């Protein structure tokens, strides 16, 4: 129990002192995961919207597949991306292994199915509500999917925040493709893993607290946005 108390005390001292290494690690975590979410949104939102509204053979199968891919284990994605980006692999000449770019690629692969599947669900629910009216006004499926993307923007924002949370919290993918290089590819989760394995629990806990606070704040923000939006826009 004494150990734990000491760990928390050191953790708070670290955060209060705004250690420059800590800032570097937090900044990189944010950069990698935010970029990954942006890419995933660019691909996943239109995909989700079209899937929600279009009707074609194999649509059900595609939806099931997308939902299943939400459960991709990060460490497996990391391994696959490593094999792709290694010099011995097909995309080795890009030379991005062990750089933040590789981490962004891996996390984008991880998050895109989540954003696509969840936005598909959200927009399909909205489509059930709006379909008759939109068709009556003359909107084709493409137009309708764009309209619904905008109309469900608050739910979608929550989905993006969920995607970010998932990215920021994972360690398997970024560890393998990033290599946890000091000052280059070390992010919060890999730093926690390293410090824990070194037995340096106070530092690991400090980072852990920062990570938890970040994720909790994001979820709170998501909640506030939804509440405010519901009140304002109905």
Question: What separation in angstroms does the CA of 110 have from each of 60, 77, 100, 190, 197?
Answer: 21, 7, 15, 17, 25
Of the two residues 61 and 136, which places its CB atom closer to another protein in the complex?
136
Q: Residue 66 CB, nearest distance to another protein (Å)?
A: 25
Q: Residue 94 CB, nearest distance to another protein (Å)?
A: 11
Of the two residues 2 and 93, which places its CB atom closer to another protein in the complex?
93
Q: Residue 43 CB, nearest distance to another protein (Å)?
A: 18
The three state secondary structure string of the chain is CHHHHHHHHHHHHHHHCCCHHHHHHHHHHHHHHHHHHHHHHHHHHHHHHHHHHCCCCCHHHHHHHHHHHCCCCHHHHHHHHHHHHCCCCCCHHHCCCCCHHHHHHHHHHHHHHHHHHHHHHHHHHHHHHHHHHHHHHCCCHHHHHHHHHHHCHHHHHHHHHHHHHHHHHCCHHHHHHHCCCCCCCCCHHHHHHHHHHCCCHHHHHHHHHHHHHHHHHHHHHHHHHHHHHHHHHC
Of the two residues 41 and 77, which places its CB atom closer to another protein in the complex?
41
Of the two residues 59 and 143, which places its CB atom closer to another protein in the complex?
143
CB 31 within 8 A of CB 226: no
Of the two residues 98 and 207, which places its CB atom closer to another protein in the complex?
98
Q: Residue 124 CB, nearest distance to another protein (Å)?
A: 16
Of the two residues 182 and 213, which places its CB atom closer to another protein in the complex?
182
* Residues of the shown chain interacting with another protein in the complex, contacts defined by CB under 8 A: 23-24, 27-28, 30-31, 34, 86-89, 92-93, 95, 97-100, 129-130, 132-133, 135-139, 143, 147, 150-151, 153-154, 157, 179-184, 194, 196-201, 225, 228-229, 232-234
Q: Residue 112 CB, nearest distance to another protein (Å)?
A: 19
Q: Residue 64 CB, nearest distance to another protein (Å)?
A: 25
Token representation of residue 205: 């806990």
Q: Residue 23 CB, nearest distance to another protein (Å)?
A: 7
Of the two residues 56 and 150, which places its CB atom closer to another protein in the complex?
150
């Amino acid at each position: 129990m004494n150990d734990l108390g000491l760990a928390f005390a050191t953790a708070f001292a670290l955060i209060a002192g705004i250690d420059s290494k800590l800032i570097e690690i937090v900044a990189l975590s944010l950069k990698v995961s935010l970029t990954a979410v942006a890419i995933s949104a660019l691909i996943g939102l239109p995909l989700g919207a079209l899937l929600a509204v279009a009707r074609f053979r194999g649509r059900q199968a595609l939806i099931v597949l997308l939902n299943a891919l939400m459960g991709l284990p990060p460490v497996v994605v990391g391994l696959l991306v490593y094999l792709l980006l290694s010099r011995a692999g097909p995309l080795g000449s890009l030379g991005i292994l062990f750089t933040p770019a590789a981490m962004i690629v891996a996390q984008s692969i991880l998050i895109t199915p989540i954003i696509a599947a969840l936005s598909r669900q959200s927009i399909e629910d909205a489509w059930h509500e709006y379909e008759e009216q939109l068709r009556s006004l003359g909107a084709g499926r493409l137009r309708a999917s764009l309209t619904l993307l905008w109309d469900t923007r608050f739910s979608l924002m929550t989905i993006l925040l969920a995607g970010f949370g998932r990215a920021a919290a994972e360690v398997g993918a970024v560890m393998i493709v990033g290599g946890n290089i000091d000052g280059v590819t070390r992010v919060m989760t890999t730093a926690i893993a390293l410090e824990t394995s070194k037995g340096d629990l106070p530092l690991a806990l400090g980072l852990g607290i920062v990570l938890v606070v970040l994720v909790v704040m994001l979820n709170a923000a998501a909640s506030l946005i939804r509440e405010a939006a519901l009140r304002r826009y109905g």
